[in-house]
Structure 1
Amino acid sequence: MTDTPINLDSLRQRIDELDSEILRLISARAECAKQVAEVKTASDPGAVFYRPEREAQVLRRIMELNPGPLNSEEMARLFREIMSACLALEQPTKVAYLGPEGTFTQQAALKHFGASAVSMPMAAIDEVFREVEAGAVNYGVVPVENSTEGVVSHTLDSFMDSSIHICGEVVLRIHHHLLVADTTLRDKVSRIYSHPQSLAQCRKWLDAHYPRAERVPVSSNAEAAKMIKGEWHSAAIAGDMAAKLYGLEKIAEKIEDRPDNSTRFLIIGSQHVPMSGEDKTSIVVAMRNQPGALHDLLEPFHRHQIDLTRLETRPSRTGVWNYVFFIDFKGHVDEPRVAAVLEEVRLRASELKVLGSYPVGVL
């Protein structure tokens, strides 16, 4: 320690110097990104610019090298935005998401792709799939499961007849707020709009605070936020983005029943994603309707010590009382032991479809 007092002006001067150096380095990185685009385009006019496995590797490396005092996740978010802006110099990434504007799905898209991506709202999950399949956008973002209310069935069903691959995942911490417009009479609220899952995630809070209010399910939380602008007796349950976008006020914050309420979203695209070093694979399997079918399905995973992270059952469209299994597990299809397990499962199943191997969510 030194006895010399710290001079505020000298600290500000040091910050200015550091800012100049940061600016120089970001500009150098952006210039390098432009050169990468030129090299890729010269060798392959149809080159893919966004590489999920490469981005995951970079962000993991940043988090490992981070010396503080900013925490590793915050540092990774800063680099995500730098990478997003640099990628936009190479080729703007078009991303479809379940809209309208202000949904948690849009928030997940921004978290995963950064603010420089071109995000496009869709009215339904199957529209997101169609836009990606048609090539109108590079990627789509759809919700797949919530920690409180479970699986989003519409998303799983959309994979059944689709050729789309899962290219990534993002987990978003979900905070719900009770929102009102400037015209709302707060003591007269008799109707509350929100998405059905959000209403379910806030059930206990609503029972305690608004037991007599009508709960009206709508297509999205953002749609709920839009609807109350013209109704003096209504409120909406939605998140921060919807509140800011539609100019609403929070009269109660974080009203979700579970403090760990989170939603997992999938990034869907048309490409195969190479190994990143820490990956997950999703498959859908139809088993023959016979005793021990579930055991036959799971036994190879146990024998090869592959960690299952999720198992969901959905009714099959091919027959009454037949089911298909959606399975997530750690590993990549290009790993020999994973390939061996999938080959065993393929021989035992009536149908096996690999939905994709992709990096485990970094942020």
Structure 2
Amino acid sequence: MTDIPSNLDELRERIDRLDADILRLISERAECAQQVAEIKTQVDPDAVFYRPEREAQVLRRIMALNKGPLDSEEMARLFREIMSACLALERPIKVAYLGPEGTFTQQAALKHFGDSAVSLPMAAIDEVFREVEAGAANYGVVPVENSTEGVVNHTLDSFMDSSMCICGEVVLRIHHHLLISSTTRKEKVSRIYSHPQSFAQCRKWLDSHYPHAERVPVASNAEAAKLVKTEWHSAAIAGDMAAKLYDLEKIAEKIEDRPDNSTRFLIIGNQQVPMSGEDKTSIVVAMRNQPGALHDLLEPFHRHQIDLTRLETRPSRTGVWNYVFFIDFKGHCEDPVVEAVLEEVRLRSAELKVLGSYPVGVL
């Protein structure tokens, strides 16, 4: 950049020329996406157009190439939307999520798939699983754990009865706001609606600012936002998407007790995902009820130096005081070392189920 424009008009002309170049290049990329779709369809009429491992590789490459001034995550988000729009030209993706509209799960779905995906709200987590299993949706998005309140048991239980694979993950920073409608009298708020987990994540703030307000748990934050529209003395705890969707005013922002409050969501689908170069694997293991069972389960991971990122225990449905273990670890099930570890675990356990190997969340 040796030839720096000397005035505002020259800068604006240069921006116009750059915009035209960007437009041309995006259009060329979209045409390439259409050609990819044609080739895939000729080879296989039922071809899979969305490739999680390929998308993760592209976004990682963009972040590695980026030299600023936009930060790498912001640049990756821009490319995510370009890729989402190009993919919609091939075949729009239908994504089921825990609804209604305006939930953090919908926000996670759009963060992962982009705004060109068709998002389908479901009333419960098990309905998300059924929608994908039936083929009515290509993928589903479900919450699995929160950094403050821990694991979402309903999601783990659903995996025990489902044939779905985990195809990806997305981590969403969760910011809660106290919202009111245009008819709410701020000084008279005596009832607050929200999801039970949101109440737990904002407990200290509520104890300090609204100690006497009735806390009414509902199925989702979006439902809480919807209820506030009809009452003059109530408020809701919800996020930005719900505030915008239901036209509510924020009277207090970021009221979560922990500033690093975040939730991890899983992408479920019918496909096994090839290696992307930076992957996780999730498994569920039922162990025989005997001394040293947990040690026997974990020892192969330690010996082969495989990094465990999560270990959860749930009661087994096959016997009283028996348990199953949900484990996440770094690596892909096609990696020879991981294959060897899983074979050892299979021999030591009563049952082993691989839920899926998938790219580590990029954004």
The corresponding residue for 2:123 is 123
Aligned with 1:352: secondary structure?
strand
Shift of 1:4: 8.6
Moved over 2 A (4+): 1-5
- Measured against aligned partners, the alpha-carbon deviations of 1:64-119 in whole angstroms (never above 9, x if no partner) come to 00011100000000000000000000000000000000000000000000000000
User: Which runs of 5 or more residues in structure 2 are unaligned?
Assistant: none
In structure 2, the CA distance between the partners of 1:227 and 1:3, relative to structure 1 (3 Å rule), is closer
**Residue in 1 that maps onto 2:13:** 13
Give, in angstroms, the shift of residue 132 of structure 1.
Answer: 0.3
Amino acid at match of 2:57: Q
Percent identity of the aligned residues? 87
- Which residue type is aligned with residue 212 of structure 2? R
Q: Which residue of 2 aligns with 1:288?
A: 288
- 1:174-213 deviation per Cα after TM superposition (whole angstroms, max 9, x unaligned): 0000000111111111110000000000000000000011
CA distance in 2, matches of 1:324, 1:3: 65
**Matches of 2:287 and 2:237, distance apart in 1:** 41
Cα separation, 2, equivalents of 1:2 and 1:149: 53
**SS of residue paired to 1:230:** coil
CA distance in 2, matches of 1:60, 1:211: 46
- Does the residue aligned with 2:281 lie in a helix, a strand or coil? strand
Q: Counterparts of 1:325 and 1:105 in 2: how far apart (Å)?
A: 25
- Aligned-CA RMSD value: 1.2
Query: Is the 2:95–2:138 Cα contact (8 Å) retained in structure 1?
Result: yes
CA-to-aligned-CA distance 1:116-135 (integer Å, 9 cap, x gap): 00000000000000000000
TM-score (norm 2): 0.99
Query: SS state of the match for residue 6, structure 1?
Result: coil
Code of the aligned partner of 2:86: C
2:286 and 2:234 map into 1 onto residues whose CA distance is 45
Tell whether the 8 Å contact from 2:167 to 2:358 is kept in structure 1 after alignment. yes
2:151 maps to amino acid: V
Q: Which residue of 2 aligns with 1:30?
A: 30
Partner of 1:177: 177
Moved more, 290-299 or 181-190: 181-190
Pairwise CA distance, 1:139: 0.1
> 2:210 matched to which residue of 1?
210
Q: In the alignment, which residue of structure 1 is the partner of 2:70?
A: 70
Shift of 1:2: 8.8
CA gap 1:160/1:4 in 2 versus in 1, 3 angstroms: closer
Gaps of 5+ in 1: none
Once residues 72 and 168 of structure 1 are traced to their aligned partners in structure 2, the CA distance between those partners, rounded to angstroms, is 20
Task: Give 1:130's aligned amino acid.
Answer: R
Distance 1:285 1:137 in 2: 28
Assess if the C-alpha contact under 8 Å between 2:5 and 2:11 holds in 1. Answer: no
Q: C-alpha separation between the residues in 2 aligned to 1:126 and 1:4?
A: 58
User: How many Å apart are 1:265 and its aligned residue?
Assistant: 0.2
What pairs with 1:267-286 in structure 2 (closer than 5 Å)?
Answer: 267-286=267-286
- Contact 2:125–2:142 at 8 Å: present in 1 too? yes
- The equivalent residue for 1:54 is 54
- Map 1:94-113 → 2, pairs under 5 A: 94-113=94-113
Matched AA of 1:277:
G
**What pairs up with 1:284-363 in 2 under 5 angstroms?**
284-363=284-363
Q: Using a 3 Å threshold, how does the CA distance of structure 1 residues 309 and 6 change in structure 2: closer, same or farther?
A: same
- Partner of 2:229: helix, strand, or coil? helix
Q: Which amino acid aligns with 1:324?
A: V
How many residues align? The count is 363
Distance 1:25 1:2 in 2: 24
Change in Cα spacing, 1:293 to 1:82, as seen in structure 2 (3 Å) is same
Over 3 Å counting, the alpha-carbon distance change for 1:29 and 1:189 in structure 2 is same
Distance 1:300-1:182 versus aligned 2 partners, 3 A rule: same
For residues 253 and 203 of structure 1, the distance between their equivalents in structure 2, rounded to whole angstroms, comes to 15
Once residues 103 and 4 of structure 1 are traced to their aligned partners in structure 2, the CA distance between those partners, rounded to angstroms, is 46
**3-state SS of the aligned residue for 1:289?**
coil
* One-letter identity of the residue aligned with 1:269: G
C-alpha deviations, 1:162-184, integer Å up to 9, x for none? 00000000000000000001111
Partner Cα distance (1:228, 1:99) in 2: 17
- Report the AA paired with residue 173 of structure 1: R
Structure 2 Cα separation of the partners of residues 5 and 281 of structure 1: 52
1:3 deviates by 12
